[in-house]
Structure 1
Amino acid sequence: MQPGVRVRSPEPQDRDAWGRLYAGYAAFYKVEQTESMRDRVWNWIRDPAHEVQGLVAEHGGQLAGLAHFRAFARPLSATTGGFLDDLFVDPAARGSGAAEALIAAVKAEGQARGWSVIRWITAEDNYRARGLYDRVAERTKWVTYDIRL
């Protein structure tokens, strides 16, 4: 854990600050997102029965970042892995260690659950984040594809 950064599960009183962070994440990736979409994701991460789970990072007494993750089956290796769907740190808190602390917390969750890997994707031009990712994880050779439905 990074000094001055506390990672924890989101609490009901975090909704507004989490919503601002998540809206910032959507804006960073130029994804149109509505308040009702954020409500849906908030309900997912607050529901222990839902596959998507969340963590938040506090720094300086404020929510500074968020991470959303979930388990996924890995049939070829007959294991379960963890997928880090969303990771975002408020621009004012970048360099605080919040992103690294969130990744470490997701890794610890994966280790506790017996997952074989934590996997995520990022934009090719997300250079600042990739600097961290290159330090804490192994870049793979895989190329991703989407079929829009």
Structure 2
Amino acid sequence: MADDIVVRPVRPDDRAGWETLWQGYLTFYKSSLAPEVTDATWKRFFDPIEPLQALVAERDGKLVGLTHYLLHRSTWAPVCYCYLEDLFVEPSLRGGGVGRKLIAAVESAARSAGASRLYWMTHETNETAQLLYNKVADRPGFVQYRKKL
């Protein structure tokens, strides 16, 4: 199935397809965002001074997956790290290699930028995603804490 998937940078004319996937991602995590947050995120993808990047997976002219990532400095390395912030694949295509292709594309971009680490998180209940993640990366055992500001 993944053989007919093309992963590429998001384009301005992808807004409708991207937003459908983005809303699917938010729904999966039982979240919602104000429209102005989504608008700001979309604009950042095309702002050359913003570190936020977006890739989409396309099949037969239809967007079927997305990933967002950013490069950032670290106190632990002289070069940057790459944080894969969001990853979503249309539910009917999960398990078919689309997510793996999206992760590989982010890895390639991170390597090209000289990053020394690619990392991401998922919710502990997202067992489907963890089946893939456990095959393509190490699980370091860190626990995330958050404080709303």
Smaller-chain TM-score bracket: over 0.9
How far apart are residue 48 of structure 1 and its match? 2.3
Residue matched to 2:95: 95
Partner of 2:24: 24
Q: What is the aligned partner in structure 1 of residue 54 from structure 2?
A: 54
| 1:54-133 alignment, distance < 5 Å | 54-133=54-133
The Cα shift of 1:77 comes to 2.7
For structure 1, the residue ranges without an aligned partner over 5 or more in a row are none
How large is the RMSD of aligned CA atoms in angstroms? 1.2
Q: In the aligned structure 2, how far is the partner of 1:12 from the partner of 1:72?
A: 24
Distance 1:72 1:95 in 2: 30
Q: Percent identity?
A: 37
What is the rounded CA distance, in whole Å, between the counterparts of 1:33 and 1:56 in structure 2? 20
Counterpart AA for 1:65: G
Unaligned runs of 5+ in 2: none
Shift of 1:33: 1.6
- Corresponding residue pairs, total: 148
- By how many angstroms is 1:39 displaced? 1.3
Q: TM-score, normalised by structure 2?
A: 0.94
TM-score (norm 1): 0.94
